Amino acid sequence: MKNSVRLLAVLFMLTGAGAAFAQGYPNRPIKVVIPWPPGQATDLVARMVSEKLVPVLGQPMIADNKGGAGGTIGSDFAAKQPADGYTILAGSSGPISISPNVQKVGYDPIRDFAPITLLAVNPFVLVVNPSVPAKNVKELIALLRANPGKYSFSSSGSGATSHLMTVLFNSMAKVDAVHVPYKGSSQSVTDVVSGQVAYTIETVPGVISFVKSGRLRALAVSSAKRSAAMPELPPIADDLPGYDMFGWIGWLAPAGTPSEPRARLAAESQKVLQAADIKERFLALGLEPSGLSPEEFTEFLKKQNARYGSIAKQANVRAD
């Protein structure tokens, strides 16, 4: 009987402590580690959402840009911060889902982070130089199959998101093309525009101006559904069932961060993502607002990590 009373007392104390934490959080500024330089998509999203969260949370959200090594330096830094809810990471698919599968990093993307919420996803676009005699995905696949090794595709680097997306496309389409890696997406796209490379799969902001001017032909989007950013384009999956690739941006915390602050940040961020001006600003960046619970985001990350890992292993892809 005494043991039961003691157990109930302990449970009451723990429940009370959790409630107190939730009600009192946050009571000081929150540091937002952004593992990219200012102006990059992850940086812009983190700042947009943080700006909306400040008046709701009643505390400043201080951006701390720690760019370098494809986002892995800042991600590693964030993973090693105190797990108290006052340091969060603006995580993204590159350093979290891809880099750990193609190079050595100082953190485990699953064990070393506590997911908060998915903020946005960004479908990519399959584009070709206008001289390529293919007006749609089906025709491109037929052209590449008929000319193995003749055509080339570019990427922003070996092991980059665009590389792995195109590796999967080529694999599912059963085509053979030459990979031309670059140090960044700008030159990768430029050489498709000039005709030195036949095709690539890149972000909407990276290609949309060239598509509108007629210097690139857009064939399809990489997500399984049409993208709000370019709704006129069909999904690659229409011709390659099961193809569904996209980048993502979300809040993560160091592993061990209590559930209460994570739940609060997730709930308030989800409300922010419903705002009309946020949707409009995201759309201009080729992004689509999301919003998942910490539990849903955890499962999402596991699936993303497994999928990119499978692609990298199958093609023996390593980062430059």
Three-state secondary-structure class, residue 285: coil
36 and 138 share a domain? Answer: no
Three-state secondary-structure class, residue 199: strand
Residues in the chain where the model's pLDDT stays below 50: 1-22
148 and 170 share a domain? Answer: yes
67 and 212 share a domain? Answer: no
pLDDT of residue 304: 96
In terms of Cα–Cα distance, which of 299, 292, 294, 298 is closest to 259? 294
Distance, in Å, from the CA atom of 290 to the CA atom of 243, rounded to the nearest integer, reads 20
pLDDT of residue 8: 40
Where is 154: in which H helix or E strand? strand 152-155
130 and 208 share a domain? Answer: yes
Does 11 map to a domain? no
98 and 164 share a domain? Answer: no
117 and 251 share a domain? Answer: yes
In terms of Cα–Cα distance, which of 48, 52, 81, 55 is closest to 66? 81
Distance, in Å, from the CA atom of 32 to the CA atom of 252, rounded to the nearest integer, reads 10
Domain count of the fold of the chain: 2
pLDDT of residue 314: 85
Three-state secondary-structure class, residue 177: coil
Distance, in Å, from the CA atom of 92 to the CA atom of 250, rounded to the nearest integer, reads 6
185 and 37 share a domain? Answer: no
pTM: 0.87
Q: What is the CATH number of the domain that holds 127?
A: 3.40.190.10
Over its C-alpha atoms, the chain yields an Rg (Å, rounded) of: 22
Last residue of some domain: 203, 238, 273?
238
Distance, in Å, from the CA atom of 224 to the CA atom of 241, rounded to the nearest integer, reads 9
Last residue of some domain: 190, 220, 238?
238
Distance, in Å, from the CA atom of 314 to the CA atom of 127, rounded to the nearest integer, reads 24
Does 7 map to a domain? no
pLDDT of residue 320: 64
Q: Say if residue 162 is exposed, middle or buried (CB neighbours under 10 Å; 0-12, 13-18, 19+).
A: buried
**Half-sphere exposure at residue 60, Cβ-oriented, CA atoms within 13 angstroms:** 5
In terms of Cα–Cα distance, which of 141, 171, 313, 194 is closest to 242? 171
Which domain range does residue 44 map to?
A: 29-122+247-315
204 and 156 share a domain? Answer: yes
pLDDT of residue 288: 94
Does 151 map to a domain? yes
Distance, in Å, from the CA atom of 200 to the CA atom of 163, rounded to the nearest integer, reads 9
Peptide linkage before 181 cis (omega within 30 of 0):
no
Does 23 map to a domain? no
Residue with tokens 């540091």: 31
Report the length, in residues, of the chain: 320
Last residue of some domain: 238, 272, 306?
238
118 and 133 share a domain? Answer: no
pLDDT of residue 317: 84
Q: What is the CATH number of the domain that holds 60?
A: 3.40.190.150
